Structure 1
């Protein structure tokens, strides 16, 4: 996969409302999948599929801690993407009034 294809994969992964919500939920640090399951109101199978897509895009990483799987953003660069999009949205909505 070349750089352009990976970039598109990242945007596609972040483009889904549930996956965006997962990334925002993990913005401030790792969380157990059980906490994600409480916050994201979907079945375990559905949540697992979204987590898989985010991992395959390089956005999330995970590690087993005891009996639980903990997910986190794979890098602070993901936070920068989220921050920049949030700034753009504020600027866009302010300018469109």
Structure 2
């Protein structure tokens, strides 16, 4: 696997609106699955599937705390990447002709 493959895997994982929201939610602090479910009102199965994809992409890591599974952003550069994306999106909207 080369760096382009890894880049594509990360962008694909972040390319789904729910996964993007989950990563943004986890930027500040690790959270248990129950908190993620409550915040987004997803089914347990849906949340677990999205968390699995984000973990397989190397974006998230998990840690068992008692009986709860906690997830956190593993790649600290993700915060910078999302900030850059927000700037790109703002630039996109600025270039639209209304």
Q: Give the TM-score category using the shorter length.
A: over 0.9
TM-superposed deviation, 1:75 = 2.3
Tell me the TM-score normalised to structure 2 length. 0.92
Alignment RMSD: 1.0
Structure 2 residue matching 1:24: 3-state secondary structure: helix
CA apart distance, 1:21: 0.6
> Where do residues 1-97 of structure 1 align in structure 2 (5 Å cutoff)?
1-97=1-97
Report deviation, 1:12. 0.4
Q: Find the aligned partners of 1:92 and 1:72 in 2 and give their Cα distance.
A: 30
Q: Structure 1: which 5+ residue stretches go unaligned? A: none
| Alignment: residue pair count | 97
Distance (whole Å) between structure 2 residues aligned to residue 7 and residue 75 of structure 1: 13
Superposition misfits of 4+ residues, deviation over 2 angstroms: none
User: Taking structure 1 as the reference length, what is the TM-score of the superposition?
Assistant: 0.93
CA shift for structure 1 position 79: 0.6
